[in-house]
Amino acid sequence: MYNIWRLIDVLLTTMSREIMDYTPVIIAGELADWIVIYLQLNAG
């Protein structure tokens, strides 16, 4: 879970620096939670 959070954090930070002049609407923790929920729902 921590590795997923770190990856998403790096991607969102990079995108926000290169593309946007503002803070992203979604934070890394929320996106990581959504990914984990999606993976759990589609695992079986």
How far is the C-alpha of 29 from the C-alpha of 4, rounded, in Å? 9
Say what the pLDDT of residue 25 is.
73
How far is the C-alpha of 16 from the C-alpha of 7, rounded, in Å? 14
pLDDT digits (tens, 9 = 90+) for 5-44: 788 778 777 766 666 666 667 777 888 888 888 888 988 6
Question: Half-sphere exposure of 15 toward its Cβ, with a 13 Å CA cutoff?
Answer: 12
pLDDT reading at 1 higher than 70: no
Say what the pLDDT of residue 21 is.
63
Other beta carbons within 10 angstroms of residue 8's beta carbon come to 20
Helix 28-41 and helix 2-18, axial crossing angle in degrees, nearest 10: 130
Say what the pLDDT of residue 44 is.
66
Asked if 31 contacts 12 with a C-beta cutoff of 8 angstroms, the reply is yes
How do the domains of the chain map onto residue ranges? 2-41
